[in-house]
Amino acid sequence: MIRVLFVCLGNICRSPTAEAVFRHQLQTQRLAHLIECDSAGTSGYHSGDAPDRRAAQAAGARGYDMSALRARQVSDDDFERFDLLLAMDYNNLAELRSRADATLQHKLKLFLEFGDGEEQEVPDPYYGGREGFDHVLNLVENASIGLLQHLRGRLES
């Protein structure tokens, strides 16, 4: 089993979007029994909250279900439990790096490293309009395809 954790600041917009999109891809490709995913935030501001309604609406319009997701904060155990911890931006990557043991740093990456676009960070759509949430979905869908290809390679080796 390969385990992937998507990480943003509050775990109500970007990382639950990534979790929902990637989980949908795993189910569609019949890989959910081999690859597990979850999401969390580097802060605990929204712990226990459902995803932002705008994120859930944008995801729902594309067929992704976020209704069962609830925000949580990254725990110390996550660094051991997950094989990849994928940050949405440099600030959250830096926070993960500051918390992870030196022997676990190799697990920490930017999520968009798996995409084929020029952007390196998934921008936070929280203070913007609908177009920001659609842009996040575009980036997440693209990077999810690359991530899935990468993980398939790991499963086959």
pLDDT in tens, 22-54: 999 999 999 999 999 999 999 999 999 999 999
Q: Considering the domain delimited by 2-156, tell me its CATH architecture.
A: 3-Layer(aba) Sandwich (3.40)
Determine what percent of the chain is predicted with pLDDT higher than 70: 100
Q: Catalytic amino acids?
A: 8, 14, 124
Residues 69-98, mean pLDDT to the nearest whole number: 98
CB under 8 Å, gap of 24 or more: what pairs does 89-98 form? 89/8, 89/121, 89/122, 89/123, 89/124, 90/120, 90/121, 91/9, 92/7, 92/8, 92/9, 92/42, 95/42, 96/7, 96/42
The average confidence (pLDDT) of the chain is 97
pTM reported for the whole predicted model: 0.98
Determine what percent of the chain is predicted with pLDDT higher than 90: 97
